[in-house]
């Protein structure tokens, strides 16, 4: 390498699409498709077999000047997240032999740190066009700052760290690399995996040079990578700033949730400067302390509210400063509002669950088989008893079910003993949920022939095994999406004082 031409020149708010096709023609076609929706394009040349790689480079040598977006060239070994077994010498030779036309036109070359350090000082490398990167596929190490300092000592123009975020707390140290301004160099920081999603969405607003978004689902270059459409249009990452309001849903698992689509759509429709994030939490105490409670949290953000889902609807109560009367009666919270220095808890599940159900069947005197005894079951049980239904709780944890039954005057049976003796069956367990137990039913669907209505609070997928079984048995069925929309609208009102008016929030989106 001896000459340079194009630079990103301190541009910001860039969404970069990695090209991950493994076929010559598809790779080139994907570049042209990415031009229409990206700010920059990363050519993952390590995805290509040797023959296809040669063809792509020959074509780029002829036509790279016609590509209208900045190009980042990457040739990564498998141990650092690449797709090819590449020795250090093979990577050195690749960059040394790259055609001059490509060298001049590229925006950046991504050098892994061992590669960057292998080139001696004075080597004819255009360091002002080099990203020096370090990847960890196992986790986020404690000595992250030391690694960053090592990157910073190279002659590269940009520092990049991408690590597997095994826990949401890993995001704190990753975002700290941007927040603390440890270097004058532009920085790219990525937390891979679902717990790291906030680094991908909030990174630009905190000063990161760019974030990566897949061209489409299935074309990701790393786990947990959203699509360019999600980053640009759902999370609106280009418009976010440090002053943007933060909302989110906490739970585990969380990847199935449609709440980010519903609430982000509503925020956009209302013209609200904010974003709603999926937050996969495995330690509630740590999350409340480090992310949520204003006086203690370790992250500088304008958190306004949280949705709470499985398994934290009851566990979160001791952390709250105020409970509204309905949440107190139910003993479960699905909504947290940040009020000054305090966290206030509410439950919008009752209204959300009962409104669509009451439109289909008279609950007064109806026999209801309630499946599960968790936070959602508590809200549904409360609503059913208020409306005069006769409830039997079917659960695996009978001790937990008996506590719930005692509070709300219900009966208890083992879930395996369900024999179809009910007017209504309501599933309040996660069984059947995408990412949990998709395709399973919490009960034997062959026992549903005498049931009038089957109601499954699981909404992703919309057609669960329980609902399919109910339809085959001739039952009326009701999915969980209507409940989700109703309870979300009330959450939105509690957080913002506004009505969730956009019909788009009810549209299907997986």
Enter the DSSP assignment of 225: P
CA–CA separation, 24 and 229 (whole Å)? 25
Compute and round to an integer the Cα radius of gyration of the chain. Answer: 26
CA–CA separation, 29 and 392 (whole Å)? 58
Contact 168, 279 (CB under 8 A): yes
H/E stretch holding 460 reads: none
CA–CA separation, 470 and 170 (whole Å)? 43
CA–CA separation, 489 and 501 (whole Å)? 8
Q: Annotated catalytic residue: which of 10, 313, 400, 452?
A: 313
Separation of first and last alpha carbons in the chain: 45
CA–CA separation, 217 and 333 (whole Å)? 33
CA–CA separation, 29 and 37 (whole Å)? 14
CA–CA separation, 74 and 43 (whole Å)? 6
Residue whose C-alpha is closest to residue 299's, from 203, 161, 424: 203
HSE of 416, CA atoms in CB hemisphere, 13 A: 3
313 is catalytic: yes
Enter the DSSP assignment of 120: P
Q: Please give the positions annotated as active site.
A: 313
């Amino acid at each position: 390498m001896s000459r340079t031409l194009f630079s990103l020149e301190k541009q910001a708010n860039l969404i970069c699409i990695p090209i991950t096709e493994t076929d010559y023609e598809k790779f080139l076609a994907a570049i042209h498709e990415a031009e229409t929706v990206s700010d920059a394009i990363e050519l993952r040349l390590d995805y290509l077999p040797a023959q296809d790689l040669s063809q792509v480079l020959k074509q780029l040598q002829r036509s790279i000047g016609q590509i209208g977006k900045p190009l980042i060239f990457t040739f990564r070994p498998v141990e650092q997240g690449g797709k090819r077994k590449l020795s250090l010498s093979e990577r050195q030779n690749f960059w040394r032999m790259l055609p001059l036309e490509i060298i001049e036109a590229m925006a950046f070359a991504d050098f892994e740190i061992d590669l960057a350090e292998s080139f001696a000082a004075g080597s004819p490398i255009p360091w002002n066009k080099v990203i020096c990167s370090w990847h960890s596929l196992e986790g986020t190490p404690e000595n992250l700052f030391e690694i960053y300092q090592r990157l910073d000592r190279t002659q590269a123009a940009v520092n990049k760290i991408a690590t597997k975020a095994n826990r949401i707390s890993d995001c704190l140290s990753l975002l700290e690399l941007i927040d603390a301004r440890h270097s004058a160099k532009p920085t790219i920081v990525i937390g891979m995996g679902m717990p790291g999603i906030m680094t991908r969405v909030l990174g630009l607003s905190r000063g990161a040079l760019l974030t990566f978004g897949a061209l489409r689902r299935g074309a990701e270059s790393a786990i947990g990578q959203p699509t360019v459409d999600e980053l640009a249009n759902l999370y609106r990452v280009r418009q976010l700033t440090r002053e943007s309001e933060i909302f989110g849903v906490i739970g585990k698992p969380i990847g199935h949730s449609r709440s980010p689509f519903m609430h982000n759509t509503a925020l956009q429709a209302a013209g609200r400067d904010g974003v709603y994030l999926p937050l996969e939490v495995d330690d509630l105490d740590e999350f409340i302390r480090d992310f949520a409670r204003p006086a203690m949290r370790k992250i500088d953000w304008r958190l306004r509210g949280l949705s709470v889902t499985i398994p934290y609807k009851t566990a979160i109560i001791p952390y709250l400063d105020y409970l509204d009367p309905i949440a107190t009666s139910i003993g479960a919270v699905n909504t947290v509002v940040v009020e000054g220095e305090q966290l206030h808890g509410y439950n919008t599940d009752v209204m959300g669950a009962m409104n669509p159900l009451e439109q289909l069947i008279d609950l007064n005197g109806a026999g209801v088989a309630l499946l599960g005894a968790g936070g959602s079951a508590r809200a549904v049980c409360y609503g059913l008893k208020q409306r005069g239904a006769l409830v039997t709780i079917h659960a695996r944890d009978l001790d937990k079910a008996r506590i719930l039954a005692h509070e709300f005057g219900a009966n208890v049976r083992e879930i395996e003993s369900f024999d179809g003796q009910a007017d209504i069956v309501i599933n309040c367990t996660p069984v059947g949920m995408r990412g949990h137990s998709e395709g399973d039913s919490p009960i034997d669907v062959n026992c549903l022939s005498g049931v009038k209505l089957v109601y499954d609070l699981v909404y992703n997928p919309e057609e669960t095994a329980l609902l399919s079984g109910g339809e085959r048995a001739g039952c009326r069925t009701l999915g969980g999406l209507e409940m989700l929309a109703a309870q979300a609208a009330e959450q939105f009102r509690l957080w913002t004082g506004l009505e969730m008016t956009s019909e788009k929030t009810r549209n299907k989106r997986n």
